Amino acid sequence: MDFSLTEDQQMIRDAAREFAQNEIAPVAAEFDRSGEFPVDTIKAAAELGFMGIEIPEEYGGSGLDPVSYALVMAEISAADAAHGTIVSVNNSLFGVPLLEFGTEEQKQKYLVPVASGKVNGAYALTEPQSGSDAGSMRAKAVLSEDGSYYTINGKKSWITSGPVAKYVVFFAQTVGADGESAGISAFVVDAEAKGYLRGKLEPKLGIRASATCEIELENYRCPVEDRIGDEGQGFKIAMIVLDAGRVGVAAQSLGIAQAAYEASLEYSRERKAFGAAIGSFQSIQNKLADMRMRIEASRLLVMQAAWSKAECKKTGQKNTLNSSMAKLFASETAMWVSHQAVQIHGGMGYSKELPLERYFRDAKITEIYEGTSEIQRMVIGRLETGLR
């Protein structure tokens, strides 16, 4: 089996690493402290083509492959997971539904500006009372009598990039002009239009520079041409998007774990106790060995999921199993490795003077968003047994 990267993939990885370490890493702690959205570095990421990596060039993107996307996500997230989250939302959560299900007009109007990084996109699925149980959403889109527009009402929570997004992919239960339910549908809504309201900012534990808020639509009039796909196709669209997005979260987790490990390895060589470098102690070596092993296992799962994502595009098959396994294992690895990294650093690991405690806080969300670890195990178990 050949696990080597192509020359183009190596180039994009190296470009992402150079950008992340030179431009993002020096400002990551300050943005984590302030919680401000990193406008300048995200603009710079857009100029490098990182806001639409897999989106074809004719729609504002870079036209690269899923492996390249995973490599970029890992490198950016190693510098700062919050920047990785922002990049992920534009690429996966907003980009995929428009690319896969959008009309040509929708792609030109909405996908091009987001994939090129001129504006930010967001994805609104979660509601205050429905997280993993997306089918129980209460937001409603009622079709007008003449069939020309929908009136949408509903509140969404935990919307990443919500405070700064220009366009949002919004999911709602559809009601026909006859009052009959047509299932969940997906729409593109304009954050600057009448009826779009931004709610409170979320005071998050980690990824603090990735702006997150509640949003609410109040009698928002959405033209029927801004519905993505067919009526009732929204749940299918949401699940396909999450399959794609989980590859990005897995790569993000890999980046966090790698950064925590490299910091621990360097510290173990420099820190002395009882007259010797702590890296010479068996207990520390055991931690480092386990950290490296889990990271490399995660890397293989992430690369497999990214590669199979490309193959599934050719065959029309689903990438659910590979993306769920990669996301589950890599996210739990990020949490475990960052925990061990704090322990290796002792008191300094608990201090904000070093980034270890930020890695630890940032890692936690990877076990939650785009499908919790519990949901991933359920998905994998159902696929393996064929039982529901």
Do residues 263 and 354 make contact, with C-beta atoms less than 8 angstroms apart?
A: yes
Alpha carbon 327 to its chain's center = 11
What are the structure tokens assigned to 358, written together?
């930020």
- Using left for φ > 0, alpha for ψ between -120 and 50, and beta otherwise, residue 210 falls in beta
Q: Residue 283 and residue 363: Cα distance in Å, rounded?
A: 23
Residues of the chain with pLDDT under 50: none
pLDDT of the residue at 132: 73
pLDDT of the residue at 70: 98
pLDDT of the residue at 1: 64
Domain with CATH 1.10.540.10 in the chain: 7-120
Q: Residue 303 and residue 128: Cα distance in Å, rounded?
A: 34
Tell me the one-letter amino acid at 278.
I
The CATH class of the 122-233 domain is mainly beta
Domain with CATH 2.40.110.10 in the chain: 122-233
Domain with CATH 1.20.140.10 in the chain: 235-385
Answer yes or no: 370 catalytic: yes
Sign (positive or negative) of CA dihedral 90, 228, 371, 382: negative
Do residues 173 and 183 make contact, with C-beta atoms less than 8 angstroms apart?
A: yes
pLDDT of the residue at 177: 76
Provide the whole-model pTM: 0.96
Do residues 113 and 101 make contact, with C-beta atoms less than 8 angstroms apart?
A: no
pLDDT of the residue at 292: 98
CATH ID of 235-385, from 2.40.50.100, 1.20.140.10, 1.10.1740.10, 1.10.10.10: 1.20.140.10
Q: Which of 75, 202, 367, 370 is catalytic?
A: 370
Do residues 334 and 366 make contact, with C-beta atoms less than 8 angstroms apart?
A: yes
Q: How high is the mean pLDDT of the chain?
A: 96
pLDDT of the residue at 134: 72
Does the domain at residues 7-120 carry the CATH identifier 1.10.287.980?
no
Q: Which residue has the tokens 């480092």?
A: 288
Q: Residue 32 and residue 163: Cα distance in Å, rounded?
A: 16
